[in-house]
Amino acid sequence: MMNHSMKNQFNFKPGTVIEGKWHKNVYTIIKELGYGANGVVYLARWRNQDVAIKLSGSGTSITSEVNVLRSFAKVQGSVLGPSLLDVDDWERKSGIVFFYCMEYIKGPDFMTFIDQKGPTWLPVLTLQLLTDLERLHQNGWIFGDLKPENLIVTGPPAKIRCIDVGGTTMKGRAIKEFTEFYDRGYWGMGSRKADPAYDLFSLAMIMTNTAYPKRFNKTTGGLAELIDKVKQSPSLQKVEVVIVHALKGDYQSASQMRYDLLQVMSKDQSDMRHVSRQTRSMNSKVRAQVNQRKGKKRGWTETALLVTFVLLFYVLYIYSYLI
């Protein structure tokens, strides 16, 4: 959930210079990127490169997020979160501001990318995200505040990355940061205990969100309402079975959900190949029929020309004989 008082407290104008107390690194704010429950993130300039810097009044929150980023760095093969570059304090007359600097991940957010490229990209990006979530879960972490605004698509080639780890929570603990639309507790579909199924519910809601970019308000809540929304969307029907299982909490791991999604995609491609074969077969028959008609027409034309030529030859022969 957004913390508006936090945003007002750390509302800095472009050009504001931040100097670390301990490492003496100097950052110049360019613009705001976003804010959450624990702080505000800015795009800044440091050593002739663009970086993202998160400012907070809570040293505990900053330390927690820094530990998450360091844990991410230890997860072999995963580049889900940004690289950590610096951690420091900024001394001001009004007090200490705690901050950390991280890699600036540039690109469109998840919803913008799908809107630009089309819904066929949804399963592709979802498969990528499930691979990274599986690694994250195996290392004892639950992402928590999983939502489209936190997901950036870099590339080419297209690669999904996350820009905010503020909601990441150790397995078994209570989710510390969430956004209602993607929260299973809000929909009455389970607790806010940090487990893999919590992230997978959020991911199912992200998939649903692609068909309803402005989201939708909860009325009755519960599974029936969500399934009804999925069934109403033609773009979601192909992956409906995967979304429903994730909403119900049937998946105990991201790898299970990934396997099912692959099966759905494989079946869809197989069906397309079958249709393609049928189309090619029908086209072959049509071409054969057309060629047959053309052959008959060509045969009649050739016969008519031959008869005309013989008659003309005969007339010329008689004419020369009479002369």
- Which positions are catalytic? 145
Q: List the beta bridge partners of residue 51.
A: 44, 103
Tokens of 184: 């299973």
- Per 3-state DSSP, what percentage of the chain is helix, strand, and coil (rounded to 5)? 50, 20, 30
Residue among 19, 25, 27, 20 at smallest CA distance from 44: 27
Q: Is the peptide bond before 156 cis (omega within 30 degrees of 0)?
A: yes
**Residue found by looking up tokens 């079958």 in the block:** 274
Helix (H) or strand (E) holding 102: strand 95-103
Residue 217: half-sphere exposure toward Cβ, Cα within 13 Å: 1
Provide Rg for the chain, Cα atoms.
32
Give 198's contacts (C-beta < 8 A, 6+ positions apart). 142, 144, 175, 184, 190, 192
